[in-house]
Amino acid sequence: MVPSYVQWLPAMPSTPSGKRDDAALRAIPLEAPADHDTTPPRTPLEKALAEILADLLHLPEVGINDSMFDLGGTSLTAMRLIATLEQRFGTVIPLSEFIAAPTVAAMATRLRSGAAAPARFDPIVPLNKAGSRTPLFLVHPMGGNVLCFLPFARHLDREQPLYALQAAGADPGTEPLDTIADMARGYLTAVRRIQPEGPYKISGYSFGGFVAFEMACQLRAAGEQAEVLILDTVALNPHLRELYTEDALLGWFFWELLWPVRGGASPLDEMPEHATTLDAKFAHIARCAVDLGVLPADSSGTVIRRLFRLYRANWLATLDYRPDTVDQDIVLLRADEPLPAILEAMHGAAGSLHYEPTNGWRRMTTGRIQVIGIPGDHLSMIEEPGVAHVAKTVADILHPSTHLRRDTRAS
């Protein structure tokens, strides 16, 4: 796929050690595309929103009908913008509404009506409503957020309807669910609003694969059918759950929060010695997230507490998930490269079966398992440029009339 916006630089900024300087890259002002919207703000609210968006995108100005994503916005930009609007205006714009219309004009309309009618939480986030094919429903990873699926959605055929499923608990006033079975039940209720009858096409990445599998099991029990695509989810040994500490769990969460801009080892190693209470640790994590541009200025430990509560609930739900073995066919897209080092401890604590050729899924189903090798590792497969290959592979699976030229291994 061709990027929506490209800007040439005279040279790549680098650190004193010669590595790419990502902080310097983010600070470089961008030039708006020549064909961008130039409609000026019409109200003080639109003016304020246009200034916020321009600041986040490092642009001199934006038109009220400009799509944030067409101007070079990313999932990280979206997360910062939603958090900024919550801080400044006291209204949460649901992710589903924001992705459907990521413009100043649409945000202003939502904010004007927000105080009078707070939106009810909806797990469905439409990534592409167009097309007449059977929709694909894609379940969130451990953190509960679905912004990581935006690159995948951009590469998928526009004739393929795509709906992501986000977790309750990240938005203020919502509570995370405690079990995978409860998540699957609630998500199926939402899915049936979009597609009342099967057969269904359900997928999930990482943690989301467990929920997708459970959704298929519940549909099967109700006499319906579902095609299941698992995106590198690793099953757990039902007889092994190693011990872990709350600090370890907090470290994994901290790393995943900052990983899009930081990468590397766990930032928990840099926790100040005086940060001995959970509140102090949350405050430190918030400061780091602000400094790296993951969260907007003035974000507090309260935001981190809310996100960690959801992460912890999904972690515990994973450990508690021990379904009966069923006869369910699945397609597993399995990363060819080993787990990133930072994830090895996490998978070890959960009793992960990542070393098995089917990621442990043979222990959970007697059905057919088709394993398709994906270049990259568990993290890089859903990022550019690797995500383009994943989207093409998924399209081939959803439409078998297209010849599948992949590394396929049936089990």
Q: Summarize pLDDT for 198-211 with one digit per residue, the tens.
A: 999 999 999 999 99
Confidence tier at 171 by pLDDT (50, 70, 90):
confident
In-domain check, residue 187: yes
150 and 229 part of one domain: yes
pLDDT above 90 coverage of the chain, percent: 47
In-domain check, residue 295: no
Confidence tier at 36 by pLDDT (50, 70, 90):
low
Kindly tell me if the per-residue pLDDT of 15 is higher than 60: yes
The answer for residues whose C-beta is within 8 angstroms of residue 10's C-beta and 6 or more apart is none
Confidence tier at 402 by pLDDT (50, 70, 90):
very low
- How far apart (Å, rounded) are the C-alpha atoms in residues 231 and 235? 12
Q: What's the confidence (pLDDT) of residue 118?
A: 55
In-domain check, residue 83: yes
pTM over 0.85: no
Q: What's the confidence (pLDDT) of residue 119?
A: 63
Strand partners, 203: 138, 229
31 and 95 part of one domain: yes
In-domain check, residue 195: yes
> In 90-156, which residue ranges form alpha helices assigned H by DSSP?
95-100, 104-114, 150-155
In-domain check, residue 89: yes
**What is the token pair recorded at 185?**
């039940």
State whether residue 18 is helix, strand or coil: coil
Strand partners, 204: 139, 230
End of a domain among 95, 114, 133?
114
Give the range with max mean pLDDT: 163-167, 336-340, 351-355: 163-167
Domain limits for position 34? 22-114
> Which is more confident, 363 or 1?
363
106 and 133 part of one domain: no
134 and 225 part of one domain: yes
Strands 124-128 and 200-205: unpaired
- How far apart (Å, rounded) are the C-alpha atoms in residues 384 and 388? 7
End of a domain among 55, 81, 114?
114
CB of 67 closer than 8 Å to CB of 102 = yes
Q: What's the confidence (pLDDT) of residue 389?
A: 96
130 and 29 part of one domain: no
136 and 179 part of one domain: yes
Q: What's the confidence (pLDDT) of residue 213?
A: 98
Domains in the chain, number: 2
238 and 332 part of one domain: yes
Q: pLDDT tens digits, residue range 56-94?
A: 888 888 899 988 888 888 878 888 888 888 888 877 777
**What is the token pair recorded at 74?**
């990313």
Kindly tell me if the per-residue pLDDT of 277 is higher than 90: no
Confidence tier at 44 by pLDDT (50, 70, 90):
very high
Confidence tier at 98 by pLDDT (50, 70, 90):
confident
Element at 136 (helix H, strand E):
strand 136-139
Give the range with max mean pLDDT: 79-83, 102-106, 173-177, 332-336: 332-336
Kindly tell me if the per-residue pLDDT of 27 is higher than 90: no
Q: What is the mean pLDDT of the chain?
A: 85
60 and 193 part of one domain: no
CB of 130 closer than 8 Å to CB of 158 = yes
193 and 333 part of one domain: yes
- Determine the average pLDDT of the residues in 137-161: 93
Task: State which amino acid sits at residue 179.
Answer: T
249, HSE (Cβ side, Cα atoms, 13 Å):
20
**What is the token pair recorded at 331?**
């397609």
147 and 104 part of one domain: no
Q: What's the confidence (pLDDT) of residue 407?
A: 41
Q: pLDDT tens digits, residue range 304-336?
A: 999 999 999 999 999 999 999 999 999 999 999
In-domain check, residue 188: yes
CA distances from 247 to 100, 269, 347, 404 (A): 37, 11, 16, 44
In-domain check, residue 298: no
Give the CATH number, domain containing residue 216: 3.40.50.1820
Q: pLDDT tens digits, residue range 249-261?
A: 998 898 888 877 7
Q: pLDDT tens digits, residue range 218-241?
A: 999 999 999 999 999 999 988 776
77 and 138 part of one domain: no
In-domain check, residue 269: no
- Determine the average pLDDT of the residues in 14-43: 67
Closest CA to 233 of 382, 345, 406: 382
Q: What's the confidence (pLDDT) of residue 269?
A: 65
Kindly tell me if the per-residue pLDDT of 362 is higher than 60: yes
85, HSE (Cβ side, Cα atoms, 13 Å):
29
Give the CATH number, domain containing residue 35: 1.10.1200.10
Strand order in the sheet with 408-410: 124-128, 162-165, 136-139, 200-205, 226-231, 330-335, 369-374, 408-410
Q: What's the confidence (pLDDT) of residue 408?
A: 42
- Determine the average pLDDT of the residues in 362-367: 96
End of a domain among 63, 84, 114?
114
- How far apart (Å, rounded) are the C-alpha atoms in residues 362 and 367? 8
360 and 225 part of one domain: yes
Confidence tier at 375 by pLDDT (50, 70, 90):
very high
Q: What's the confidence (pLDDT) of residue 87?
A: 81
Q: What's the confidence (pLDDT) of residue 264?
A: 60
**Residue 176 region, left (φ>0) first, then alpha (ψ -120 to 50), else beta?**
beta
Q: What's the confidence (pLDDT) of residue 242?
A: 66
- How far apart (Å, rounded) are the C-alpha atoms in residues 400 and 411? 19
Q: What is the DSSP string of 193-252?
A: HH-SSS-EEEEEETHHHHHHHHHHHHHHHTT--EEEEEES---B-TT------HHHHHHH
